Chain A
Amino acid sequence: MSTTTHLGLAATAVDGIGASPPRPDGRLKVTGEFAFSSDLWADDMVWGATLRSPHPRARIVSVNVGPALAVPGVLAALTHEDVPGSKRYGLEHADQPVLAFDEVRYQGEPVAVVAADHPEVAARAASLIEVEYEVLPPVVDPETAVLADSPRVHEGRPNLLRHVPIRKGDPDVTAEVVVSGVYDVGMQDQAFLGPESGLAIPAEDGGVDLYVATQWLHVDRSQVASSLGLPPEKVRFTLAGVGGAFGGREDLSMQIHACLLALRTGRPVKMVYGREESFFGHVHRHPARMWYEHGADRDGRLVYVKARILLDGGAYASSSGAVVANAATLGIGPYDVPNVVMDGEVVYTNNPPCGAMRGFGAVQACFGYESQMDRLAEAVGVGPVEIRVRNAMKTGDLMPTGQVVEGPAPVAELMRLVEEKPPAPAKSDFLPGGTANTTRGEGVVRGVGYGIGIKNVAFSEGFDDYSTARVRLELVGGRPAVLIHTAAAEVGQGLVTVLAQIARTELGVSQVTIAPADTNVGSAGSTSASRQTYMTGGATKAACEAVRERLFARLDAPGLRLSDGQVLDSGGRLVTSLGELLGDEAVEETVEWRHRPTSPLDPETGQGNAHVQYAFAAHRATVDVDLELGLVRVVEIVTAQDVGKAINPDAVEGQIHGGTAQGLGLALMEEIQVRDGKVRNPSFTDYLLPTIMDMPPMRLDILELADPHAPYGLRGIGEPPNISSTPAVVAAIRAATGAALTRVPVRPEHITEAVC
């Protein structure tokens, strides 16, 4: 049963691009045989556990691991003194201690690690380590932390981690219609289901082999090697099965700790976080406060946007600098605005560290600018779709950074597509409150809301962003077969399926195997920023082309192509079989592939061609709201997204469904609640994820408007659907209730207090 319309290109090669073959790892995953990072096992293996700070800010007076070492079964207990190399690590700045020294800066910061023969023994021994703290008042309010006279989170460094100003046009321009608002976004968690985990095995050469769930093997390795004081070639990484990521595995968690323990004990060490520890073990989505002022003419055409976006970076930098750049550069949305004054800021606090999460800065901003667009629509008396269409960005327009929007920019078309879908069914399967039977329909009102967002694809601001693919074509059992080797992290999105499809299309070979991702091949870059199909797909395509060229060089004929194991000439006539052309010799090519270069942003004006590609998705949400209880039931969500080219249509749908669900979660329930620097709800009992009862049926329109610069014309697809479902759901609740709702997640009392 499909509720999806695909508009555009058709499939050609069998199980090649445009088809939806099943996942190569799917059979193992449905039978329970797929080895996730928490499933690994080795002879003689022991378990690692971590002691974490209970305080958001405290000076460490002393640490005594003696009581832990006295526990039978314990093999090692390590502190910062046992870190042989760099004592700090980090993606953008090496500011995060491997194990805390001098001071702890957030609740949950690792202080010591223990290895023992049973996970419970390791955890209990870790809890016996004596740490004397001198508790300090935590810096927890971003608005005061950013002020010059605030106490510093890092001694000798200002709390303002990065400020991204963007100036376009006339900063003093005025307009006839002005709407303004202050908006807040809570701290969302990636909540991947597979906990942080891995297995470190000490090697005979004094190095270590780590099997781990991560998003970026090579940058993990360089950080780990640096802290172990080992050359990178002695630190070998292999990707273990990854149980979801969504940005939360871009930073290190247990990698260095497990390697330290393995090298110290000489035994394989497995570390697996529990769910509570996982909430402290990875970065989260930045909470935001955003001040927006939109000026427009009487028809609602935007004259200017002035905005300040303040992100709480928490205790360590992680990827905050790139997140705030996204928030700022994408912070007015997919609209054509002649004058922009934008200031994005991210600040250190003693709150949990924040970094990458799906949507990466674009999510927070979208809740702000889309709430504003609805206010503007109301102020000038037009509908929510009309106001967006009137201001829609199109190809050739200038971003606030001065960058020209190249390629298709179907903003108005996407809005029309979601608008024109038939309305949601009058009666939902469930009322607000679900099976709790809190209403029979009395006091329930319905609303419809819209949202559209913009996201950059791949890494920006001049980053040398590349991926490496090694493709080998040879006869296996007398039949041509392809082996693809990359270091790209398959985290569930289906890259392994897509790479095989690309090889089938390029080489006309049905038998394609994906080698395990490891550091024996060059970096693939991160599985983030919606970039892997573009980047590692692009690298695989290029490596296949190089293999093909070498093969064709053996034949003196123009216009050759490969199809279904045969070499055909330009007229489609058989020249020879691929098997005969190959013979006994394998053809292997390794290609390092880059997207078009980008430029840094000017530090004063924010001008620069910072982004590679823009991607767009629009949502329409229909909700029923119980006015008495403030309970919301999302009845239906309609999404329209331009994907350039759907390499695997089923997987594209899956990304749109899943991204939309995470946006619904942010709108209605998902928030890490932090008070005075302490997390109050680190469990799935208290941090609520959308269940199948919370999710409505979703209907999709998938546009395929080719981007001339991208492989096959594709666009990154993972993040765009995560961005505008949040404001669409909130707009629908506003339409139903009239409540202002300037904060997500919306809580029942926000609704009941507004309507009573």
Chain B
Amino acid sequence: MRVTCKINGVDRTADDVWAGESLLYLLRERLGLPGSKNACEQGECGSCTVYLDGTPVCSCLVAAGQAAGREVVTVEGLGGEDGLDPVQEAFLRAGAVQCGFCTPGLVVSVHDLLERSPAPSDPEIREALAGNLCRCTGYEKIMDAVRLASASREER
């Protein structure tokens, strides 16, 4: 089948999409956007988190066809032309990136958290990110990154 949707502000079309393919596969293998990651294929790890019509979803759990006619924003679409999104900048500066496999999904999840709650408390941060696994950092510097991103968004 043919799937057309808006991705990071641009209309994109993929042909020959098999009905069993996920949105994650569509993004990674058909549309050249491998930033969203493939770590569990069952919505446990959050590495594939993207916005679908403004709501964060695990793109591995969304069929490619379900995205037809809708708007998707991936980690590749968060930064502006003038550089990184404050969340991306904060992850870099806080040392919250080690292997980086969880980072794209976490960046999207944190972006969403701060849109909803610009100055979250520590328990609020932990609850919001409970669906994003990280195997390297023990999450301490991810907490730092969220606090830093929150502060720098406020400054803007």
Contacts and interface: CB of A to CB of B under 8 A. Distances in A.
B51 interface: no
Interface string B84-122: 100011011101011111111001000000000000001
B125 to A, nearest CB: 8
B140 A653 contact: yes
A429 B126 contact: yes
Interface residues of A, number: 62
B44 A658 contact: no
Nearest to A659: B138
Nearest to A693: B130
A713 interface: no
Contacts of B104: 30, 32
Interface in B1-49: 18, 20-21, 28, 32-42, 44-45, 47
Contacts of A690: 138
Contacts of A118: 18
A689 interface: yes
A194 interface: yes
Interface centre among B34, B36, B99 (most CB of A within 10 A): B99
Nearest to A657: B138
Interface in A453-498: 491-494
A424 B75 CA distance: 37
A430 B135 contact: no
Given A22-B93, A30-B88, A689-B135, A494 B98 contact: yes
Given A275-B39, A275-B40, A32 B136 contact: no
Interface centre among B130, B136, B141 (most CB of A within 10 A): B136
Interface in A376-396: none
Contacts of A430: 123, 126
Contacts of B134: 193, 692
A493 B137 CA distance: 10
A493 B101 CA distance: 13
Contacts of A29: 97, 100, 103
Interface in A670-712: 683-685, 689-693, 695, 697-698
Contacts of B97: 23, 26, 29-30
B139 A695 contact: yes
Nearest to B122: A429
Interface in A32-85: 32-36, 38-39, 41
A622 interface: no
A246 interface: yes
Contacts of A272: 38
A515 B69 CA distance: 43
B62 interface: no
B95 A651 contact: yes
B137 A244 contact: no
A473 B42 CA distance: 48
A340 B42 CA distance: 49
Contacts of B39: 193-195, 243, 275, 684
A1 B41 contact: no
Instruction: Label chain A's interface by main secondary structure.
Output: loop
A242 interface: yes
A31 B84 contact: yes
A14 to B, nearest CB: 17
B140 A697 contact: yes
A695 B107 CA distance: 19
Contact of B35 (A20, A33, A41, A650): A33
Nearest to A32: B35
A195 B47 CA distance: 12
A25 B100 CA distance: 9
B16 to A, nearest CB: 9
Nearest to A20: B95
A409 to B, nearest CB: 26
B112 to A, nearest CB: 15
A492 B138 contact: no
Contacts of A697: 140, 143
Interface in A249-267: none
Contact of B47 (A191, A193, A662): A193
A658 B98 contact: yes
A599 B137 CA distance: 35
B74 interface: yes
A684 B39 CA distance: 9
Contact of B95 (A192, A244, A650): A650
Contact of A658 (B40, B47, B138): B138
Interface string A260-295: 000000000000101100000000000000000000
Given A27-B84, A657-B138, A658-B137, A684 B95 contact: no
A492 B98 contact: yes
B88 A192 contact: no
Nearest to B92: A26
B142 interface: yes
B133 interface: yes
Nearest to B125: A692
A660 B136 CA distance: 10
Contacts of B147: 1
Given A31-B84, A244-B135, A684-B45, A36 B37 contact: yes
Contacts of B91: 26, 30
A17 interface: no
A654 interface: yes
Given A29-B100, A275-B39, A698-B138, A39 B123 contact: no
Interface string B60-83: 000000000000001110110000
A41 B125 CA distance: 36
Given A275-B41, A653-B95, A34 B100 contact: yes
A661 B138 contact: yes
A20 B38 CA distance: 30
Contacts of B132: 691-692
B154 interface: no
Contacts of B38: 38, 195, 272, 274
B98 A27 contact: no
A387 B103 CA distance: 42
A12 interface: no
A695 B78 CA distance: 28
A435 interface: yes
A219 to B, nearest CB: 21
Nearest to A274: B41
Given A31-B79, A654-B141, A692 B18 contact: no
B150 to A, nearest CB: 12
Contacts of B136: 244, 492, 654, 658
A659 B35 CA distance: 26
B155 interface: no
Contacts of B79: 31
Nearest to A276: B41
Closest 10 CB pairs of A and B: A32-B35, A492-B99, A29-B100, A657-B138, A243-B101, A661-B138, A684-B44, A39-B34, A32-B75, A492-B98
Given A120-B21, A658-B136, A691-B129, 15 more contacts: A27-B84, A30-B107, A31-B79, A34-B100, A193-B101, A243-B100, A245-B99, A275-B39, A658-B137, A662-B135, A691-B130, A691-B133, A692-B142, A692-B143, A697-B140
24 contacts: A27-B84, A38-B37, A120-B20, A191-B135, A193-B37, A193-B39, A193-B47, A193-B99, A193-B133, A194-B101, A242-B99, A246-B135, A435-B127, A492-B99, A650-B141, A654-B138, A657-B138, A661-B137, A661-B138, A690-B138, A691-B129, A692-B139, A695-B138, A698-B140
